[in-house]
Amino acid sequence: MVPLGWAGGTVGLILTGAISLYANTLIARLHEVGGKRHIRYRDLAGHIYGKRMYFITWALQFLNLFMFNTGYLILAGQALKAVYVLYRDDGALKLPYCIAIAGVVSALFAFGIPHLSALRIWLGFSTFFTLIYVIAALVLSIKDGTNASARDYSIPGSKMNRIFGIIGSMGTLVSLGNTGILPEIQATLRPPAIRNMEKALRLQFTAGMLPLYAVAFTGYWAYGSSTSIYLLNSVNGPVWVLTLANIAAFLQTIVSLHIFASPMYEYIDTRYGMDKGNAFSFHSLLFRVGVRGGYLAINTLVAALLPFLGDFMSLIGAFCSFPVTFVLANHMYLTAKKSKISVPQRAWHWLNVVGFSCLAVASAVAALRFIVLHSKTYNVFADL
The conformation of residue 192, written as its DSSP 8-state character, comes to: S
What does the alpha-carbon distance between residue 241 and residue 9 come to, in Å, rounded to a whole number?
28
Kindly report, residue by residue over 21-33, the tens digit of the pLDDT. Answer: 998 999 999 988 8
What are the pLDDT digits (tens) for 108-158? Answer: 999 988 877 778 888 889 999 999 999 999 999 999 999 888 888 888 777
Mean pLDDT (whole number) for 339-352: 89
Residue type, 88: R
Query: Closest Cα to residue 262, out of 297, 234, 290, 291?
Result: 291
In this structure, the number of other CB atoms found within 10 A of the CB of residue 237 comes to 16
Domain boundaries, the chain: 2-377
- What SS3 state is found at 337? coil
Report the alpha-carbon distance of residue 318 to residue 310 in Å, rounded.
Answer: 13
Instruction: Please give the pLDDT value at position 85.
Output: 92
CA angle 262, 27, 190 (to 5 degrees): 65
Average pLDDT over residues 29-51: 88
Contact 245, 136 (CB under 8 A): yes
Q: What share of the chain is helix, strand, coil (3-state, %, to 5)?
A: 80, 0, 20
CA triplet 122, 125, 130: central angle to 5 degrees?
A: 125
pTM: 0.86
pLDDT digits 0-9 by tens, 259-280: 888 888 888 887 776 656 677 7
Task: State the average pLDDT over residues 245-259.
Answer: 93
Render 224-249 in DSSP notation, one character per residue. GGG--SSGGGT----HHHHHHHHHHH
Q: What is the rounded CA–CA span in Å between residue 84 and residue 103?
A: 17
CA distance 124 to 82: 25
For 4, 132, 144, the CA distances from 218, given in Å and listed in that order, are 15, 16, 10
The Cα–Cα gap between 34 and 45 comes to 12
Task: Determine the distance from the C-alpha atom of residue 298 to the mean position of all C-alpha atoms in its chain, rounded to a whole number.
Answer: 18
Q: Which of 209, 168, 258 is nearest to 24 (CA)?
A: 209
Q: Tell me the CATH class for 2-377.
A: mainly alpha
Whole-number CA gyration radius for the chain: 21
